[in-house]
Amino acid sequence: MSDKIGIYVCECGPNISGRVDIDRIIAEISNLEEFSDKELIVKPHKLLCSVGGKAFLEEEIKNNELTHLVCAACSPRDHDTTFINVCKKTQLNPYMYTIVNIREQCAWIIPDKEKATDKAIQYIRGGIDRVLYQEPLFEKQLESNPDVLIIGGGMAGLTAALVLAGKSRNVYLIEKTSILGGKAALFSEFLPHQSDIADLKNKIKEVENNQYIRIFRNTELEKIVGFLGNFEIVLKQNQTGDTTDLLAGAVILANGYELMDARELDNFKYTDADNVFTGLEIEEMLTSQGKITLRSGEKPRSAALIHCVGRKEAGYCSQVCCNYLLKTAGYLLKQVPGIEIIDLHQDLCQPHTEDQAYFESFKEKGMQFCRVQEVALDGNKIEYVNMAGEKKEIAPDMVIIAPAMKATASNEALSALTSIDLHETGFFQEAHIKINPVSTKTDGIFIAGASRGPCDISEAMIQAQAAGGKILTQLIPGEKIIPEVKVSEILEAYCTGCKTCLDVCAYGAIYFDNERGISVVNEAICRGCGNCVGSCPSGALRSRHFTNLQLYQQVKEALR
Amino acid sequence: MEEREFQPRIVGFLCNWCTYAAADMAGASKKEISASLNVVRVMCSSRIDHNLLLTTYFNGADGILVAG
Amino acid sequence: MNPSDKILVIGSGIAGMEASLMLSKAGKKVYLVERLPLIGGNVIKTGESFPNMDCSTCLVAPIQQLILQDKNITVLTVSKVEKVIGKAGNFGVSLTKKARYVNIAACLGCGMCYPVCPVSQPNFWEQGLVEKKAIYVECAGSLPNVPVIDPSLCLRLNGSEECNLCAETCIFGAIDFSEKDELLEENFAAIIVATGFSTLDARIIKNLGYGKFAGVYTAYEIERLLASNGPTEGVIKMRDGERIPEKIAIIHCAGRKEVGYCSNVCCSYPSRYAHFLTEKVPGVKIFDIYGDLCFPDKAYQKLNYETRKEKAEYLFSADLEKLEISEESDKLKIKYPDAGNQHKELLVDMAILAVAITPPAGLEDLTELLEIERDKYGFVKAETGSVNTTRDGIYVAGCATGPRDIQSSVLQSEAAVGQILRFLQD
């Protein structure tokens, strides 16, 4: 079949026609010598994106049996989809069409009408050349598995499990230890504006009783390969070494946090014999023995709270410590009336509306608050410098510190298994810090709770529901997944197996086939950015719909 | 020989998501931009390699803008 | 259609848009109701946003485009919820779709109509820094890119003159003075409230002199001055349009005492200002006067450390509530107690108030007609660790439930979608 190219120039009312010479465009494009062996149909239209314009295009494509289509109109960001949808109603493959932007980046920016017309003609020639090198592309459909693997049985993991589990979706919840509830299970009370401790116990019960949730205790992830809708998973029981194979469509990493060991810091010296406790140790003590005591078993008569321990070294504020140290002060004030408490902080971080009133209630209870520039600890002796620059020394009976929350070693292990990135702080890296906060660079792998950054119990629960929401919208039981078509492909004969592309792919879409010694693109993961194409030293990679040849045509015409 | 005003030929490879959108917005605000710039849209500026750059220069470009 | 397939989202900011797109992806029909003529919310007012300083418009514009092109999403701009009856699973909702007087289907957004309009009014979307006409778009790049006519000011619509200038200019015949407000009745399975925030009227904070001294700005005015699509196209000049500030003070926690809470984001976003201002105004000196610093994310403090290291001098005040601004010839004099509670003075050209975030205008009425509770600060009350309001089937996301950053707003909207889909599955 010979090439039959339809070129339609949109006047966009006066928006294009008022600033370029449409008649000259039609005349010059119709008589281009280099396309004299092709059949060109060149027509103007008042407004291609209008209902009438779309019907006109559809008729033109069908009646003229077009093999290629060029729409010279506005930005592809405005109406590319509009014209693709027109193509889909006809015999023309939508990848045999191209849009040429003669409005935003031509008519509107060049005041001289003659120059603007020249430019429009130049761009349209580029479009014709480009479209001749385009190839039809076809969508694929992949089966998908709706089940979900959740790693971590803390507040985030439990919450996500309950959002997701149901008739048409199983949840596999794996927990490294033998108990569910995570760090929150050690707590004696939650903050007043957080969920109640009874909620956690109910949640654990609900999860245990849910027929669609299968719990694996003392279990860790051993291996995972695949993509959204199709992950092959191997789990390993810690104690027996037994493995289990599973299939799931999505994974949530909710493996929690740990506290920095303050003794790693130069200015914090103490031993297990000293009456120095972390906020978490106070919670544990209260939960296990019902009261807070010194190591000798006696009641403390004075206490100091030290905030921001390791904040500078960690490089971030852990955001929850200001509140939970106040909570421990609350336990002490209730248990030992008249106890003297001094609170040493650098900044007070009270990011929720309720926080300030909570803080003020402690001011009223006679606690002393002191802002410090520096603080050092040796046993229970504290040396600090206040904001006026004065050096002070105190030695309270008990010292309660708030070391920075940090990522656990399992973040690194999971990052290696799943190939999702770690943030420079060691927490998981979101797909986008603002607009895609529970997704990762790999479709189908989500993050929730403190393994993605310091957060309190309420926030961990919200994140878990968000990850649940993302999965419920992306993995619909019975629905097939349609991956992006404009992706990279490897020309096997050219691939030398240097693996450069594996390093540059931000999405982990390329893997190495050891047997054949070549890289392979997983089209279900590739987003078509072309980073690998730009970096391949042997030219073995090709960007579908943005091939070198297609771009050369545009460049060639641009420089004619 | 007749002297003509030098009109540089510049090819701009613009990323679909940021700079191409910015160029659209400049157009929507009717900002004047030199006709010397010839825009080629790519899905990501990381797509551009030495091959494309050299081909562009060999074809006679006076300058190349890669923006993303 | 079965109401279980339809969801109402109130507010088209980042939270409302994210929720709508997700619901559409899950095959639900969404009505996205917005009181303003444009979608996008507050994020599009900032040029570049913290902590990674990416361009907000580039971030949001693709999302806006997806919303406008999505067949499952009905976008109702200049619209309002009037009445809600029924219960979770089947709410009966009355909506007013106010007349735009410009036919969205016919208008191309070429912008020929507003220059000819004879009536001007302050543009509050631009924080009142510039004027707009009676037929207007709020800013360059507004989406949908279609103007709207303000019927209270339009000479023709308020009956004072037979003006027809905009209609004569529009060759697409998109201007339609006969358009009427429409009342729509629809049924929805669930409702998401994502109405965003307002900021405290800075004139209320007596000691800071906003509204009295021309050199005092709110942070939201500065956002628009810094934005390349703002009224000055990103050029920093004082209100007289000429003077360029040499010394600038950023006052943290402005109005915190008045509202009684920390606004969560106002330590992080001013960290950006020193970067932008030192770039745009060579040689400018920046001072940040602060009491507490709050950086509630793993990535936020680093930005602040970089700012403090090179670009701004951070001055701690033992009592920010005692800070006072007065005018001295063409300068501002800032008096404040320093770290040792000693009286200090600073002369600057410009003061920027990081002003408190408050519940959005109209939230009181909306919560009353939805029959959901507010907290003592006036924000929508949410269950702990959840996005459920006090009424089943109604969820809240974003700043409507308290000050928060973009990330946290998006998290809540995704959580609300999770709850809704969970609820509709059972």
Q: Is residue A212 part of a domain?
A: yes
Q: β-strand A445-447 against A488-490: which pairing, if any? A: unpaired
Q: Is residue A557 part of a domain?
A: no
Q: Measured between CB atoms, which of B17, B21, B25 is closest to C140?
A: B25
On whether any CB of chain A is under 8 Å from the CB of B38, the answer is yes
Closest residue of C to A371, CA-based? C318
Name the region of C260 (left: φ>0; alpha: ψ -120 to 50; beta: rest): left
Number of separate domains in chain A: 4
Under 8 Å between Cβ of C169 and C113: yes
On whether any CB of chain C is under 8 Å from the CB of A461, the answer is yes
What are the chain B neighbours of C147 within 8 Å (beta carbons)?
none
Q: What are the residue ranges of helices labelled H in C34-132?
A: 56-69
CA distances from B21 to A105, C61, C141 (A): 10, 9, 10
Same domain for A413 and A397, yes or no, is no
Q: β-strand C29-33 against C6-10: which pairing, if any? A: parallel
Rounded distance between C-alpha atoms, residue A134 and residue A165, angstroms: 45
Looking at the complex, report in whole angstroms how far the Cα of residue C164 sits from the nearest Cα belonging to chain B: 25
Q: Do B27 and A76 touch (CB under 8 A)?
A: no
In order of their start, the domains of chain C are 3-98+181-197+359-425 (3.50.50.60), 101-161 (no CATH), 201-357 (3.50.50.60)
On whether any CB of chain A is under 8 Å from the CB of C403, the answer is yes
Is 90 exceeded by the pLDDT of residue A102? Answer: yes
Burial class for A437, CB neighbours closer than 10 Å (0-12, 13-18, 19+): buried
A492-527 pLDDT, tens per residue? 999 999 999 999 998 888 999 999 999 999 988 898
Q: Is residue A390 part of a domain?
A: yes
Pick A202 or B18 by higher pLDDT: A202
Interfacial B residues in 13-32 facing C (CB < 8 Å): 17-18, 21-22, 25, 28-30
Q: Is residue A129 part of a domain?
A: yes
Report how far Cα A551 is from the mean position of its chain's Cα atoms: 31
Q: Measured between CB atoms, which of C18, C171, C262 is closest to A351?
A: C262
Q: Measured between CB atoms, which of A159, A347, A438 is closest to C294?
A: A347
Q: How confident is the model at residue C119 (pLDDT cuts 50, 70, 90)?
A: very high
Rounded distance between C-alpha atoms, residue A339 and residue C102, angstroms: 70
Same domain for A434 and A532, yes or no, is no
Looking at the complex, report in whole angstroms how far the Cα of residue C426 sits from the nearest Cα belonging to chain A: 8
**Whole-number pLDDT of residue B3:** 65
Angle of CA points C164, C76, C402, to nearest 5°: 120
Q: Is residue A555 part of a domain?
A: no
On whether any CB of chain A is under 8 Å from the CB of B54, the answer is no
Q: Measured between CB atoms, which of C62, C109, C229 is closest to B25?
A: C229
Is 90 exceeded by the pLDDT of residue C142? Answer: no
Same domain for A392 and A275, yes or no, is yes
Sequence-ordered list of residues with C-beta below 8 angstroms from that of A514, at least 6 positions apart, any chain: none
Rounded distance between C-alpha atoms, residue C369 and residue C380, angstroms: 13
Q: What percent of chain A has pLDDT over 70?
A: 100
Reported as type and span, the H/E element at residue A250 is strand A250-253
Closest residue of A to B12, CA-based? A555
Same domain for A456 and A379, yes or no, is no
Q: Which residues pair with C333 in a beta bridge?
A: C326, C347
Under 8 Å between Cβ of C78 and C136: no
Closest residue of A to C60, CA-based? A435
CATH number for the domain harbouring residue A111? 3.40.50.960
Rounded distance between C-alpha atoms, residue C388 and residue C398, angstroms: 12
Rounded distance between C-alpha atoms, residue C204 and residue C75, angstroms: 36
On whether any CB of chain A is under 8 Å from the CB of B55, the answer is yes
Sequence-ordered list of residues with C-beta below 8 angstroms from that of C9, at least 6 positions apart, any chain: C16, C19, C20, C23, C30, C31, C32, C33, C191, C192, C194
C35-70 pLDDT, tens per residue? 999 999 999 999 888 888 888 887 898 899 899 989
Q: Is residue A367 part of a domain?
A: yes
On whether any CB of chain A is under 8 Å from the CB of B35, the answer is yes
Sign of CA dihedral A98, A103, A105, A107: positive
Interfacial A residues in 458-517 facing B (CB < 8 Å): 486, 504
Please tell me which chains touch C, using 3 or more CB pairs under 8 Å as the contact test. Answer: A, B
Q: How confident is the model at residue C139 (pLDDT cuts 50, 70, 90)?
A: confident
User: Lowest-confidence range among A330-339, A490-499, C227-236?
Assistant: C227-236
Q: Is residue A12 part of a domain?
A: yes
Best of B7, B41, B54, B56 to mutate (most A CBs within 10 Å, chain A): B41
Q: Is residue A482 part of a domain?
A: no
What single string gives the DSSP state of each residue in A287-346?
Answer: HHHSS---TTSPPPSEEEEEEEETHHHHTS--SSHHHHHHHHHHHHHHHSTT-EEEEEES
Same domain for A451 and A540, yes or no, is no
Looking at the complex, report in whole angstroms how far the Cα of residue C105 sits from the nearest Cα belonging to chain A: 8
Looking at the complex, report in whole angstroms how far the Cα of residue A324 sits from the nearest Cα belonging to chain C: 15
Rounded distance between C-alpha atoms, residue B44 and residue C8, angstroms: 35
The arithmetic mean of pLDDT across residues A22-38, rounded, is: 92
Report how far Cα A272 is from the mean position of its chain's Cα atoms: 40
Q: What percent of chain C has pLDDT over 70?
A: 99
Q: Burial code of A58-84, b = ≥16 C-beta within 10 A, e = fewer?
A: bebbeeeebbbbbbbbbbbbbbbebbe
Best of B11, B47, B55, B62 to mutate (most A CBs within 10 Å, chain A): B47
Burial class for A287, CB neighbours closer than 10 Å (0-12, 13-18, 19+): middle
A281-320 pLDDT, tens per residue? 999 999 999 999 999 999 999 999 999 999 999 999 999 9
Q: Do C261 and A436 touch (CB under 8 A)?
A: no
Q: Do B42 and A76 touch (CB under 8 A)?
A: no
Same domain for A414 and A432, yes or no, is yes
How is chain B split into domains, by residue range?
A: 10-67
What are the chain C neighbours of A77 within 8 Å (beta carbons)?
61, 65
Q: What share of chain C is helix, strand, coil (3-state, %, to 5)?
A: 25, 25, 45
Same domain for A44 and A173, yes or no, is no
Q: Do B22 and C61 touch (CB under 8 A)?
A: no
Is 60 exceeded by the pLDDT of residue C221? Answer: yes
Same domain for A426 and A377, yes or no, is no
On whether any CB of chain A is under 8 Å from the CB of C26, the answer is yes
Q: Measured between CB atoms, which of A77, A196, A354 is closest to C65?
A: A77
A354-393 pLDDT, tens per residue? 999 999 999 888 899 999 999 999 999 999 999 989 999 9
| φ/ψ (deg, to 5) at A122 | -60, -45
The arithmetic mean of pLDDT across residues C2-6, rounded, is: 79
Rounded distance between C-alpha atoms, residue A466 and residue C399, angstroms: 16
At residue A442, what is the residue type? T
**Whole-number pLDDT of residue A506:** 84
Under 8 Å between Cβ of C405 and C264: yes
Closest residue of C to A428, CA-based? C298
Under 8 Å between Cβ of A70 and A5: yes
Please tell me which chains touch A, using 3 or more CB pairs under 8 Å as the contact test. Answer: B, C
Q: Do A453 and C406 touch (CB under 8 A)?
A: no
Structure tokens at C180: 């009427």
Say how many C-beta atoms besides its own lie within 10 A of residue A272's C-beta.
7
Same domain for A267 and A222, yes or no, is no
Q: How confident is the model at residue B46 (pLDDT cuts 50, 70, 90)?
A: very high
Q: Do B40 and A555 touch (CB under 8 A)?
A: yes
What are the chain C neighbours of A461 within 8 Å (beta carbons)?
385-386
What are the chain C neighbours of A361 within 8 Å (beta carbons)?
none
The arithmetic mean of pLDDT across residues C365-374, rounded, is: 97
Same domain for A27 and A83, yes or no, is yes
Say how many C-beta atoms besides its own lie within 10 A of residue A474's C-beta.
22
Is 80 exceeded by the pLDDT of residue A419? Answer: yes
Q: What share of chain A is helix, strand, coil (3-state, %, to 5)?
A: 35, 25, 40
Write down the residue that tokens 């015409």 correspond to. A557
Under 8 Å between Cβ of A386 and A277: no
B8-34 pLDDT, tens per residue? 999 999 998 889 988 988 888 788 999
The arithmetic mean of pLDDT across residues C256-285, rounded, is: 94
Interfacial B residues in 28-57 facing C (CB < 8 Å): 28-30
Interfacial A residues in 113-172 facing C (CB < 8 Å): 155, 159, 163-164, 166-168
A212-243 pLDDT, tens per residue? 999 999 999 999 988 899 999 999 999 999 99
- Which chain C residues touch B if contact means CB-CB below 8 Å? 55, 57-58, 61-62, 109, 111, 140-141, 145, 229
Looking at the complex, report in whole angstroms how far the Cα of residue B1 sits from the nearest Cα belonging to chain A: 22
Same domain for A23 and A111, yes or no, is yes
Nearest to C308 by CA among A312, A345, A423, A433: A312
The arithmetic mean of pLDDT across residues A390-417, rounded, is: 96
Is 80 exceeded by the pLDDT of residue A1? Answer: no
The arithmetic mean of pLDDT across residues A264-289, rounded, is: 95
Same domain for A282 and A354, yes or no, is yes
Q: Max Cα separation, chain C?
A: 69
Report how far Cα C181 is from the mean position of its chain's Cα atoms: 25
Question: ipTM surpassing 0.90, yes or no?
Answer: yes
Q: How far apart are the first and last CA of chain B?
A: 41
Q: Which domain holds residue A460?
A: 148-256+408-474
Say how many C-beta atoms besides its own lie within 10 A of residue C270's C-beta.
24
Q: What percent of chain A has pLDDT over 90?
A: 87
CATH number for the domain harbouring residue A521? 3.30.70.20
What are the chain A neighbours of C14 within 8 Å (beta carbons)?
435
Sign of CA dihedral A504, A509, A511, A517: negative
Is 80 exceeded by the pLDDT of residue A195? Answer: no
Under 8 Å between Cβ of C3 and C189: yes
Q: Do A529 and B43 touch (CB under 8 A)?
A: yes
**Whole-number pLDDT of residue C28:** 96
Structure tokens at C9: 């989202």
Eight-state DSSP code of residue B53: H
Closest residue of B to C108, CA-based? B28
Nearest to A128 by CA among A560, A550, A486: A550
Rounded distance between C-alpha atoms, residue C78 and residue C35, angstroms: 4
